[in-house]
Structure 1
Amino acid sequence: MAQAVPTGQKLWGGGKSPFNVEYGKLMMWYFLMSDAFTFGAFLISYGTIRFATNGWPDPNEVFQSFPGLGSGYPLLFVSVMTFILIMSSVTMVLAVHAGHNNDKQGVIKNMVWTIIGGLAFLGCQAWEWTHLHHEGAWWGSNPFLNADGTQATTNFTNFFFTITGFHGFHVFSGVVINIIMLIMTINGVFERKGHYLMIEKAGLYWHFVDLVWVFVFTCFYLL
């Protein structure tokens, strides 16, 4: 009798297909791949202009303010932002792990912490943008001198606000997705389905957002 093949699964050499991936997860990977190309295009464009220009603002001079402490703390605030986002990725891993164990309360607890981390990061980014705007930095406006003391172009601020804003939009979208996942978890939707695959898909998106920040952080704050 011919072997029945479950929907979405193909036999490969008489066994299980190496491409046997749940459809929704596969589509998420496709989306993340296309999104990675977009971020890559932005960062490559930035790198091209950055290293084709003789002068560029010193990040230690631009990003030296800390709320309540004033100036003179180079990269301290963005380091706190980065730590917050990384920790939110850790709690997302714990939420996915809890989902694999059908631990509803574990999923809820860690999703709450992940959402708090995302909101905290967005709050930090809002403060940074507001502070830079008060200093005269915006699209088409760059008050910062180059590291060599010469007048800087607006390329720095144009790229900074565009790329960090694009990333911030992704973080905001991730927070909204996580809130929806949290509500569905609380209402027992995944418990009735018998699996928490949607939490894992949301986790893929959140980890992607965190990974992209590593590249954004390196390009704007360290180089």
Structure 2
Amino acid sequence: MVSAWLQGFGLGGGLIVAIGGQNAHVLRMGLQKQHVTLTVLVCIVGDVLLIAAGAAGMGALIADFPLLTRVARWAGAAFLTWYGIRAWRAAFGSDALNAEAARPALTWQQALLTVAALTWLNPHVYLDTVVLLGSVAAQQSGSARPWFALGAMSASVLWFSGIGFGARLLAPLFASPKAWSVLDMVIGVIMFALAATLVC
């Protein structure tokens, strides 16, 4: 049981640590100290549900519906492109010279919709959690499978809590407007790259 948990924790952690749209957004919200708890909770709940679905065999079901995968891929690419444009507008816009103006406050509804979209409209999330983790979970024995899933879920809880609530430790580095511009440029590049991988 412990070995299955460790395997799930290691694989889940390895997949989730890669810098992606969701991680970049959580980091940004943590640095801005905006709706951090809400953002982290949405990411964790989303991962837990998707990992549980994968461990229960949902990955094989999704593979049987290529149209669903195609629609999700294009919707995700469109959203990531929009998010990337928004980040670059903040980086190169006139407001980029003002540290406070470069960090517009979001309402909790806007924060919820944004993180939910980054979680549920990104096909990579489904590939990592439902399909990949699900396929490895399926190879576990019946009693070890829940422990494998719990290990992957634990990695998600630890990671999102760490980058969300730990981002404030990086706040001194982002005291200048230039640092925020660089962060927005990097986030924009990440979003455009992810969108390109979805449609190519």
> Which has the greater radius of gyration?
1
TM-score range, shorter chain: 0.3 to 0.5
Query: TM-score, length-normalised on structure 2?
Result: 0.35
- Report the structure, 1 or 2, having the larger helix content: 2
- Calculate the TM-score normalised by the size of structure 1: 0.33
